[in-house]
Amino acid sequence: MSVPTSLAVKVRQRAKYRCEFCQMSQSLQGASFHIEHILPKVHGGKTILGNLALACPGCNLHKSDRISAKDTSNGEIVPLFHPRKDVWADHFKWFGVRLEGRSAKGRATLTLLRLNHPRRLLIRKAEQRFGLFPPD
């Protein structure tokens, strides 16, 4: 997945160095966050700012080439959260260090990307100590 450096820099700055799905900060993480194709290249997604997002390794690997997932409330297949077209707060809400889906899209994305995995909760608690959580 080759993204030109100049484009990658713009994506990281625009995201304020946070995963655009789970909001994790890059600053405490050893691994560099990934430049994610929201519409994957296999589905015709282009390497342009409007189709790129910053994603932590966990979110990027769980999303992979998917563009939809099951809404856990009714089993309906719905599109995943789209960081360029959707407003994060319309689809997700914090309850302490846990996330809840506010929409079908939010619930489906939360489940597919495992946004409340125990390791993620621990990271949010650590971020809290450094003043990095909750995100602005």
Residues in contact with Zn ion by CB under 5 A are: 19, 21-22, 24, 56, 59
Rounded CA gap, 81 and 11, in Å?
17
Q: Which is nearer to Zn ion, 75 or 118 (CB)?
A: 118
Question: What is the smallest separation between the CB atom of 74 and Zn ion, expressed in angstroms?
Answer: 25
Nearer to Zn ion, 6 or 85 (CB): 85
With respect to Zn ion, which residue has the nearer C-beta, 16 or 76? 16
> Left if phi > 0, otherwise alpha if psi is -120 to 50, otherwise beta: which for 114?
left
At closest approach, how far in Å is the CB of 56 from Zn ion?
3
Distance in angstroms (rounded) separating the CA atoms of residues 43 and 46: 9
- In the bound complex, what is the minimum distance in angstroms from residue 133's beta carbon to Zn ion? 13
Dihedrals phi, psi of 107, to nearest 5 degrees: -65, -45
- Euclidean distance between CA atoms 28 and 6, whole angstroms: 23
